Amino acid sequence: MKVSVIGAGFVGLTTALGLAEKGHDVVCVDVSEERVKQLNSGIVPFFEPDVEELLQRQLERGKFRATLETGLAISDTEMSIICVGTPSTDKGIDLGYVINAALDIGKYIQAGNFHVVVVKSTVVPGSVDSDIKSALEKSTGLVAGQDFGLAMNPEFLREGCAVNDFMDPDRIVIGADDEQSGKILERLYVDFDCPVIVTSTRNAEMIKYASNSVLATLISFANEIASICESVPGLSEEVVMNGLFEDRRFWCASDEGEYSRKRPELISYLRGGIGFGGSCFPKDVTALHRFANHAGHEAKMLQSVLEINYARSDAIIRRLENSMGESVSGKKIAVIGTAFKQDTDDLRESPAVRIIASLQTKGAEVMVHDPMVKEKSIQEAVGNVAFDVASSLEEALESAWGAIIATAWNDYKEADWPFLASKMKSAIIFDGRQVIPAEQQGKGFVLLKSGNADDFKAS
């Protein structure tokens, strides 16, 4: 099929390149002239594993190109996929970018040509069949479902492994309120081997929010348990959770109903840490909470999920101060890692950014290290907050009173922590990402483990 993708960000570019890899002819539309030039030159403007190799391969095959011209893209394709941002506001999500994309697409849809408009951007239930549909009908002067198609196709891409998630999805969700749109969108995914859920646009919209909200809930539940364990001597969240996971309902089961002790990947979300961040979980839980409130439902659990998450930053700093026996004010504290997770340079809603801001508010001298994220990006994320950036782990920890590991980069997992700790003034390290190997723990430094009230004393 010939497909246009509107938006060349993380979701849009991954989608465009993934479809090109599957043999479709794809043109990606973006408003940034610089980004379009970069893409047509084989340069990816953000870090995501495997995307650059995929881009260069599709350019060589002639299956992908980027453009600023929406009209040329729409007129030459059978389907347009909207992949633009839906940022949160005090009132809910901002549909402005999606509506503008729909209005722009609509100008070039011709009567007699059943062009299908697919929304992949994350939007709350009722957005596609109301505001977006109205914008398209206004722009085209045509009727959705009769003269042109309209569908919802949520994305389930995890940063750090987006290419694999697209090429080998666990499910594809197709939301369409008319049969023809759904059938055409099914053709797009005919070569994918996974369950395909065909439903209404509203159910498709809600599936995306439910998926992200349940994962965020698991993380906040684990952090609630971790906070309790941190408050009571002799308790360990790690031991408690490992005991929980021996319940056979946390094991994998075969089609015949036989259990094995192999643990599902979902369990990785049930570990105490520093909280969730990124472009999806905070925004989507917030959006669903506000959407529920507008619908007359209070959604207390979603509110608690958010409150627990944002409370972790200050709780971690208090833990560090308790171990030091004094305030962090006037002391060098190292924040090790700034990206919200490993294998991405995304700082959106990163717990590390919240920790940096809290440390600065408390008067600490903040030193930051990240092997991938640039200083300019960190400064933009934290705003008017003073900090220094180290070029190496050793420089970051030199003469530091304490350190907080906030991102699980492989560089950190492979580091010599006893050696690094020897460079510190007060060797107290809070491992918020289970980075430090067991054989190194406590060797020359005090290790504060998430969810453990007892320090691992230096030996």
The one-letter amino acid at 389: V
258 pLDDT tier (thresholds 50, 70, 90): confident
Residue 160's CB: how many other CB atoms inside 10 A? 18
The pair of structure tokens assigned to 261 is: 């002790």
90 pLDDT tier (thresholds 50, 70, 90): confident
Low-confidence winner among 31-35, 105-109, 146-150, 259-263 (lowest mean pLDDT): 259-263
352 pLDDT tier (thresholds 50, 70, 90): very high
Predicted pLDDT of residue 23: 97
232 pLDDT tier (thresholds 50, 70, 90): very high
Alpha-carbon span 377 to 336, nearest angstrom: 15
Alpha-carbon span 398 to 395, nearest angstrom: 5
Asked whether the predicted pLDDT for residue 372 surpasses 90, the reply is yes
Predicted pLDDT of residue 263: 84
The pair of structure tokens assigned to 253 is: 């089961």
- 255 or 22, which is more confident: 22
Alpha-carbon span 7 to 28, nearest angstrom: 7
Predicted pLDDT of residue 200: 98
Predicted pLDDT of residue 388: 95
Q: Considering the candidates 28, 83, 229, 280, report the single residue annotated as catalytic.
A: 280
pLDDT in tens, 302-347: 999 999 999 999 999 999 999 999 999 999 999 999 999 999 999 9
DSSP string, 57-113: HHHHHT-EEEES-HHHHHHT-SEEEE-----EETTEE--HHHHHHHHHHHTTPPTTS
Q: Which domains does the chain have, with CATH numbers?
A: 2-199 (3.40.50.720), 213-449 (3.40.50.720)
Predicted pLDDT of residue 458: 57
pLDDT in tens, 199-220: 999 999 999 999 999 999 999 9
252 pLDDT tier (thresholds 50, 70, 90): confident
Contacts of 296 (CB under 8 A, 6+ apart): none
Asked whether the predicted pLDDT for residue 70 surpasses 80, the reply is yes
Share of the chain above pLDDT 70, in %: 99
Asked whether the predicted pLDDT for residue 260 surpasses 90, the reply is no
pLDDT in tens, 396-433: 999 999 999 999 999 999 999 999 999 999 999 999 99
Tell me the sheet residues that pair with 144. Answer: 148
Active site residue 280: yes
Asked whether the predicted pLDDT for residue 194 surpasses 80, the reply is yes
Predicted pLDDT of residue 456: 65
Predicted pLDDT of residue 242: 93
Q: Answer for the pair 431, 405: CB distance below 8 angstroms, yes or no.
A: yes
